[in-house]
Structure 1
Amino acid sequence: MLSHTSIVYIGLGSNLGDSAGQLGSALSAIDALSDTQIVNTSSFYQSKPMGPPDQPVYVNAVAQLTTALAPHELLNELQKIESQHGRVRQGERWGPRTLDLDILLFGNETIKTDTLTVPHVGMSEREFVLVPLFEISPEMVMPDGLPLSVWVSRCSLDGLKRLTSFKKP
């Protein structure tokens, strides 16, 4: 068991190449990080792109993990994993990408720096985050004190389709 650990939720997304394969590979890479262990993973979901409509659909998931890494250490490791999967950080916002890894929640922390905002900005309107999060943590209470189920009930499920589950090796 890790010494001082935090429960963290990571949003995963991809819409270039073998998106489901990218997410599976990213989950294995996250689970292999030092002082970090995946506890639970949602099913994979197909969703409409948030940004420009002329891009492929996304495959999304949420992973729950425990980590002894500090928030910015974890962010750096996640960005390394994105790079290893061909992610290039340039071009339009919300454009196509091989892999996107976002820290959604980090314990009960609120973080606002130039490089990291937790809870993740805009997650309350993103069905491709809320539905997978609800799948693995249905009793969760969100930072504003409302149950996650209320957040899910307020978001549009238009275009969201459950695909499959990822099973840890």
Structure 2
Amino acid sequence: MARIYISLGTNISPEQHLKAGLLDLQDSFGSLQLSRVFESEAVGFKGTNFLNMVAAAETELSITDVVATFKRIEQANGRIKSEKKFSPRSLDIDLLLYDNLVCDEPIELPRGEILFNAFVLWPLAEIAPNLNHPTVHKSYQSLWQAFDKQSQKLWPIEFDFPSELQTTMIL
């Protein structure tokens, strides 16, 4: 059984898509561990603010099957395959970590943006503060403490999680 960490982001009908994405993830992976929800300014383009968070789950699926599950959930929530990299998103789901695996294929793990985007690192540090990054060998909490917090605007928000969501922890 692998422990996976998942980033979710949306800026198109964000509350609707984030709730639907979480319920779809629960249907696919069972109980989730969740960070708080954060609002952040768009990174890489001018656009409306995003809602972001990180979830953790257990799975027996391969990396390829996990990513395929995420793509199916994104498409069910209106994600268009041909969207530019930096553009508005109905739902963006990315695999950040698959246990402590380091690889480039079928995808890059750990995901590079962990170290560069506050909207990934802060929520990851919330749910896995003492877990060490598999290549830089520092805890996510210490990485967040050292992060230049002035470089990206990010703040936690109140969020009404769906009542049918089964979680192991919500901060």
Could you tell me the TM-score, scaled by structure 1's length? 0.88
User: Are the equivalent residues in 2 in contact too, given 1:20–1:44 (CA < 8 A)?
Assistant: no
Indicate yes or no: 2:6 matched with 1:10: yes
For residues 127-149 of structure 1, the C-alpha deviation after alignment (integer angstroms, 9 at most, x for no partner) is 10111111112211111211112
The one-letter amino acid paired with 2:63 is P
User: Are the equivalent residues in 1 in contact too, given 2:125–2:140 (CA < 8 A)?
Assistant: yes
The one-letter amino acid paired with 1:15 is N
SS in 2 for 1:118: coil
Structure 2 residues not aligned, in runs of 5+:
167-171
The one-letter amino acid paired with 2:128 is S
Indicate yes or no: 2:127 matched with 1:127: no
2:139 — aligned with what?
147
Q: Would the alpha carbon gap of residues 155 and 20 (structure 1) be closer, same or farther in structure 2, given more than 3 Å must change?
A: farther
Distance in 1 between residues matched to 2:112 and 2:32, nearest whole Å:
24
2:23 — aligned with what?
28
Among all aligned residue pairs of Structure 1 and Structure 2, give the percentage whose two residues are the same amino acid: 24
The one-letter amino acid paired with 1:164 is E
The one-letter amino acid paired with 2:116 is E
Distance in 2 between residues matched to 1:75 and 1:105, nearest whole Å:
12
Which residue, 35, 40, 56 being the options, matches 2:33?
A: 40
Distance in 2 between residues matched to 1:125 and 1:135, nearest whole Å:
16
2:108 — aligned with what?
117
The one-letter amino acid paired with 1:139 is N
Alignment of 1:62-81 (within 5 A): 62-81=54-73
SS in 1 for 2:153: coil
Distance in 2 between residues matched to 1:130 and 1:148, nearest whole Å:
7
User: Are the equivalent residues in 2 in contact too, given 1:126–1:155 (CA < 8 A)?
Assistant: no
The one-letter amino acid paired with 1:140 is L
Residue 118 of structure 1, CA deviation: 1.0
Distance in 1 between residues matched to 2:126 and 2:12, nearest whole Å:
25
User: Are the equivalent residues in 1 in contact too, given 2:126–2:141 (CA < 8 A)?
Assistant: no
Over the aligned positions, Cα root-mean-square deviation in angstroms equals: 1.5
Indicate yes or no: 2:140 matched with 1:159: no
Indicate yes or no: 2:66 matched with 1:49: no
1:89 — aligned with what?
81
